[in-house]
Amino acid sequence: MNLQPTKIDIVSGKNFLRNNVGTEYKTGGATLDASKFTTGEYVKAGTAVYIGDDGFYVPWTDAEEGETREGAGLTSHDVKVVNGSNPIVGVLIAGHPLESKCTGVTEGFKAEVKGYLRFDA
C-alpha cells in the first residue's frame, strides 16, 4: 500500500454545462476503472461513463441486444489516470450539458439518460 501523497496540478477544467439549473450528482462520486482509460492522460469533464461488470465506472459503449447499462452519467471534472490507482470522480446524472463539449456521447447514451440529462447543441 502506497501512502505517499500525490499532488497533481490541473491546468484547466472544461465547462460542459449550459447552466446549473436542475443539476444532480451521484452521491459519493464514482471510482473509474483505470485499466479502461489511458494511463497518464486526463479523463475530461463531460465524459460519458457507466458502471461496468466489476462495479467500477468505464467509458460508455452502446449496449448490444440483451445487455443493460447501469449508472450512466457524465464525469463532472477532469481527473488524471495514474498507473495503479483507480481515480474517483463526480458524476452528473441530471442537468443540461452541451453535447458539443462532451466526450463519448452517442444516441444510445442519450436514450439511456433521456429525461435526466437534456442535451443542448
2 in any annotated domain: no
Tell me the pLDDT tens digit for each residue of 71-106: 999 999 999 999 889 999 999 999 999 999 999 999
17 in any annotated domain: no
Domain range enclosing 78 = 23-112
50 in any annotated domain: yes
Question: Which pairs count as long-range contacts for 66-70, CB under 8 Å and 24+ apart, including other chains?
Answer: 69/112
Tell me the pLDDT tens digit for each residue of 29-83: 999 999 999 999 999 999 999 999 999 999 999 988 888 899 999 999 999 999 8
* The model scores a pTM over 0.85: yes
98 in any annotated domain: yes
7 in any annotated domain: no
Into how many domains does the chain fold? Answer: 1
**Residue 45 main-chain phi, psi, to 5 deg:** -60, 135
For residue 40, the one-letter residue type is G
pLDDT at 120: 80
Asked if pLDDT for residue 10 goes beyond 60, the answer is no
